[in-house]
Amino acid sequence: GAGVSQTPSNKVTEKGKYVELRCDPISGHTALYWYRQSLGQGPEFLIYFQGTGAADDSGLPNDRFFAVRPEGSVSTLKIQRTERGDSAVYLCASSPRRQRGGLYTDTQYFGPGTRLTVL
């Protein structure tokens, strides 16, 4: 079946501009995660959705970052007043959110990412 898709694959913008990054999760997956990966680093958590609500946004670096998932499927990560330090690959992942015997057995499946470059 289709995996997680992200658009655009590349985005170049100027400092101070507003950008939107889109994530389309695997069909039927209720949990959706955004991560940011800087060069030479592992992905770092930004925000997690369970359904339509943001269950944990503790990883968002500041109030310029915001994400929505209005219908519980597609999500958009929004960055206002972009800065050069925002340049990174933004990864989206989804998981089926199965619960077995009290343990959550999430495996997160990742999309190809959006490479954001702020000039």
Among the listed residues 51, 76, 96, 110, the single contact to other proteins using CB under 8 A:
110
Q: Count the neighbouring beta carbons within 10 Å of the beta carbon of residue 47.
A: 22
Residue 60 near other proteins by CB under 8 A: no
Stretch (H or E) spanning 50: strand 44-50
Residue 65 near other proteins by CB under 8 A: no
Closest approach, Cβ 102 to other proteins, in A, equals 7
Residue 53 near other proteins by CB under 8 A: no
The three-state secondary structure class of 55 is: strand
The count of residues in the chain is: 119
By the criterion CB under 8 A, which residues form the site for other proteins?
33, 35, 40-45, 48, 50, 55-56, 59, 89, 91, 93, 102-113, 115
